[in-house]
Each structure stands twice: as C-alpha cells, then as structure tokens.
Structure 1
Amino acid sequence: MAATSAMESVPATALRSVLHRVAQAAELSGRCPDQVKVVAVSKTKPVSVLREVYDAGHRCFGENYVQEIVEKAPQLLSQISPWWRVLMMRRPYLYLQIANHLDRAVGILGRNPLKVLVQVNTSGEISKFGVEPSGCVELAKHVCLNCPNLEFCGLMTIGMLDYTSTPENFKALANCRTEVCRTLGIKEEQCELSMGMSADFEQAIEMGSSIVRIGSTIFGAREYPKKQPN
C-alpha cells in the first residue's frame, strides 16, 4: 500500500484509500488483498498526474486508447507493470479475425506474447463492445490454440451504466469463466476476471473480480478538450 506523507498529492491519497477499500473487499470475499490487481486508468490525464501515483508506489496502469499509451509509456520507468496494456483490448474487441491480425502484428514485432483479456458483453447493450457470453468459449479457445503471440489471461466486462444490474453482469462473467476453464482444462484461478470500476469495484471484488479498473476515483473526472464554437 502507498505510504502516507504530509505532502502527499491528491491522487496519491486517493490511491491509498482505494487500496484500503480493495483490501477490505478482498477479505470479505475470502481472499488476500494481493490477489486483486488495481489497474489505475489514467485516461485523458497528463503524465505529471500519473507520475504522482507512480511515485506513491503503484505500478499497474491502463489506458483505453493506443495513442495515450504511445505518449505516456516512454516517459515512465521500465518497472511499470505489463498490465499497462490490458485495456488496449477494449476498443478493438477480440473477434477471431481481429485476434488473428493482432497475433500477426505482435509476431512481426518479435516481442514476448501479449497478455490479453477477452471482453464479454454481459449486459447486452449495443453501446458496449465485446463478444456475447455464448461466444466467449470459442474465442478464448481460438486465442489459446491459434494465436501463439497472444497470451489469454482471462475475461473482462463492463456493467450497466446505472449499476442496477451489475450483480447479474458480474455473475454472468463468472459463469463464462467456468465454461472457458472447463473447455480449456485450466483451473479458474488461472483465468483472471476483470470487472468493477470506480463506482462498483467493491461489489465486483466480493463477487470474484481479480482485476479492477479504477480511473476517476484515483485521478478525478476525465478531462476532455472543449469543443471550439463554430
């Protein structure tokens, strides 16, 4: 957990609070706090703000857009967690063809396998990306068997915007993991569940989430450029 300082920044203080809440939720779920990863999502925030969280001891970061990673990653130290790349998979949702394209691209770069999470649209909203729950087994199996440059690490989802049905969404993802692990012949502990964000991460952890994605609670509201008047 991040250390307390008399001159601690607002994001660092917020991080410390989040880690405390995560630890409490993990204990309620019967797990140790270190079994839940906190991905600090710094979308739209400058590197200077992100560094305040980095300097507080955090090493797990995420972005929604490739261009932000390209800009920010080189400005931080190499010790940053490889989970930096996890949220890259949210926008180009992983269908078979896209998985193949990504696999070839990573192979051309000649790098280690890229960790990926398969996003599942558990709420059925047309505004959400992700494969339908009925298709997650086929997609996960395809990544494992046919994409040597990708490392399947688990499943992720985003709950309803009004959070009225997140228990059902979270339960649906847990059910998907059961099916995926049965098909792949792996233990459920080997398959990450990424669910829960700023407004519902404690509930998600209590329902089995092993990766939570926290943005505004740590960094404050997102800052989008204002549109110029015509």
Structure 2
Amino acid sequence: MAAQAVESAAVTALRSVLHRVRHAAERSGRHADDVRVVAVSKTKPISLIRQVYDAGHRCFGENYVQEFIEKAPQLPKDIDWHFIGHLQSNKAKSLLAAVPNLSMVQGVDNEKIANHLDRAVSSIGRKPLAVMVQVNTSGEASKSGIEPSSCVDLVKHVKLSCPNLVFSGLMTIGMPDYTSTPENFKTLSRCRSEICKELGMVEKQCELSMGMSGDFELAIEMGSTNVRIGSTIFGPREYAKKQ
C-alpha cells in the first residue's frame, strides 16, 4: 500500500507540473503544446514510471546507460525516450541497440560522440536520431558541455558531417543552487541566435532544453521548449548504487 501511495503521489505531482507548465507557457505568449516535458526517471523503479505512463505521459528521460538498458525493454514501446547528459562514446551503440525507441540524445558535447552516434545509427539501420548539443553555460569545470564560443562549430559538424543525426537544439544544465539560472538561460538563447544566423535557420528549428525541477517555470518564461523534470514528479532520488 505504501508503494501504491508513492506512485499515486507521482501522478498527482505530474498533473501539478503540467498545470504549472501551461501557465508558464501562457505567460511567455505560447501554448503548453509548445513545451515538451521530459519526466526524468533515473534511479526510479519501473513500477513508478508505469504509473506516470498510465496517467497518459509518454516522454521520459534517463541519465545512466546501464540503468536505461535494463529498464527500457520492460516498458511500453511507445515511450518517447530521451538520454540526458554526457554519453560516453563507447556506450553509444549499446544504448541505441537496446532502446530502439530512443528518440533523442540531449548531451552531444563534442565531435567524437557525434561521430560515434552517427556510425551507430547507420550500423543498426534505425531512423535518424535527434540530438541536442550540450552547452556549458555556467563555466563549471565539473559540467559537461561545449563552451558557448564553440557551439556553432559543433552544430555545423553535426549538420554537415553526421547524416544519421538530426540537430534539434541546444541543452544546458545550470548551477545546482540556481544562482546563475537567468544568465545561463540568456547565454543559451544567445548561442541559438548565433547558430541560426550562421546556418540560416529559423529559431523554431533550434529548440532550447533548459529548466529542471527548481527553475522550469522561469526557463519556460525565458523561451525554453523542453524542460527536464525528475524529483518534482518522482520524489527525491536514490543514489545507493553507483552506475
């Protein structure tokens, strides 16, 4: 019964998040449909993910390859899976092979991983994979992501040299205490403007993935089209085992 209560709480939390997303989108002059909500389920059991799925949500994200590979085959095939964060190049093919319904990688931060993903998609024979380029907007050495000054070059590489990848936008992870949040978001927006100018793209062709549990409403108000929400939906994470 206790587990069921927790799972029901996750569904209630999801509804609350979607309500808040809708109002934030309206404040930014957009509709809720303009913002993708990725329910980040890392460290959470399949039963809990299934509760949120059964409530109608279809977009989920994972951060750890081994956990992802174990979970995804046990869940419905119409889930829209996102891998979020830094992906080691030697794990690209195993992830794609194990999760055929992986629809996006939010975390391409160098040419090497872009090339590995491109080759993996080709060798498996699956449809082209959507990717977002991760930008280190906070300047923290502990964070993955390309420097803002180099984002145009990496996006060019993905678009021109990786035919099996589809460049979909930019992603950033701000500081844990959110003190740099507004500046992080402004930096990512500036990167988008530079990329669109350089490559002749309209801004709608370049999504912005910014905003998590603590700042997703502000992110949406500042133009985010993709928010990654974990603990607000699923509760505090368990980090008992190393991935």
- State the TM-score, normalized to the length of structure 2: 0.86
Amino acid at match of 1:49: L
SS of the equivalent of 1:129 reads coil
Superposition deviation, residue 226 in structure 1: 6.3
SS of the equivalent of 2:149 reads helix
Is contact 1:86-1:115 (8 Å) kept?
Answer: no
Question: What is the 5 A alignment of 1:62-211?
Answer: 62-81=61-80, 84-87=81-84, 89-92=85-88, 93-211=108-226
CA distance in 2: counterparts of 1:177 and 1:23, whole angstroms: 24
Is contact 1:26-1:33 (8 Å) kept?
Answer: yes
Shift in alpha-carbon separation, 1:69–1:11, aligned structure 2, 3 A: same
What is the match of residue 42 of structure 2? 43
CA distance in 1: counterparts of 2:178 and 2:48, whole angstroms: 28
Amino acid at match of 1:56: A
Is contact 2:109-2:134 (8 Å) kept?
Answer: yes
CA distance in 2: counterparts of 1:16 and 1:212, whole angstroms: 15
Amino acid at match of 1:80: I
CA distance in 1: counterparts of 2:59 and 2:112, whole angstroms: 29
SS of the equivalent of 1:186 reads coil
* Structure 2: segments with no counterpart, 5+ residues: 1-6, 89-107
CA distance in 2: counterparts of 1:226 and 1:64, whole angstroms: 14
Aligned residues: 218
CA distance in 2: counterparts of 1:159 and 1:139, whole angstroms: 20
Query: What's the RMSD between the two structures over aligned residues?
Result: 1.6
The share of aligned pairs that are identical, in percent, is 70
* 1:149-172 C-alpha deviation (Å, 9 max, x unpaired): 111100000111111111000000
Superposition deviation, residue 91 in structure 1: 3.7
- State the TM-score, normalized to the length of structure 1: 0.91
Superposition deviation, residue 123 in structure 1: 0.3
Amino acid at match of 1:223: E
* 1:1-37 C-alpha deviation (Å, 9 max, x unpaired): xxxxxxx811100000000000010000000011000
* 1:51-91 C-alpha deviation (Å, 9 max, x unpaired): 0100000000000112122112112222212xx1341x534
Superposition deviation, residue 181 in structure 1: 1.2
CA distance in 2: counterparts of 1:129 and 1:212, whole angstroms: 18
CA distance in 1: counterparts of 2:29 and 2:178, whole angstroms: 24
SS of the equivalent of 1:16 reads helix
